[in-house]
Amino acid sequence: MLMGEYFHTADAKGRVILPTDLRDELGESFVVTKGLDACLFLYTDAEWKVLADKLQKLPMAKPEARAIVRFFFSGARQVSCDKQGRFLIPPNLREFAGLDKEVVWLGMSSRLELWSRSRWQQYNDKIEPAAAELAGMLTDLGI
């Protein structure tokens, strides 16, 4: 299971180091794509296949379905780490997520999220004041 929060840096070429314990969980090759909330999603090959199968079953006659499929597939890239545990994030994905030098890895059970540290802080600044509301949502969801 992918979990935890890790602070790292990206180099000038757009390479990032995948933390060792996350690398062990993610596997030798994996998929990186655009994610929700202006971050990147990383999936094991098996988890990507599950998502891709669901996306391919969406009704292509619906504009919303085509938009969702385009969103995830257009940015998707198969990548793998070098011997130092680094991989290159394509420029279009770096731009999409606003990645610069400081990045944050988040383990999210079946996927990883990669955030710009500044965007992650902005997101937390919005979410933390709503903690009581989030607690209420947990009850509504049966958790």
* CA pair distance 125, 123, nearest whole angstrom: 5
Q: Are 73 and 66 in contact (CB under 8 A)?
A: no
pLDDT of amino acid 134: 78
Tokens (6 digits) for 105: 């890895």
User: Considering the entire predicted model, what is its pTM?
Assistant: 0.92
Nearest to 79 by CA among 137, 15, 25, 140: 15
What tens digit of pLDDT does each residue of 10-56 get? Answer: 999 999 999 998 999 999 899 999 999 999 999 999 999 999 999 99
Do residues 73 and 55 touch, judged by C-beta distance below 8 A? Answer: yes
Distance of CA 17 to the CA centre of its chain: 15
Contacts of 54 (CB under 8 A, 6+ apart): none
What does DSSP assign to residue 128?
G
Q: Please, what is the average pLDDT of the chain?
A: 94
Total residues belonging to the chain: 143
**Tokens 């988040």 belong to residue:** 106
pLDDT digits (tens, 9 = 90+) for 51-71: 999 999 999 999 999 999 999
Q: Is the pLDDT of residue 131 over 80?
A: no
Q: Which residues contact 8 (CB under 8 A, 6 or more apart)?
A: 16, 17, 19, 102, 103, 104, 105
Encode pLDDT of 71-80 as tens digits: 999 999 999 9
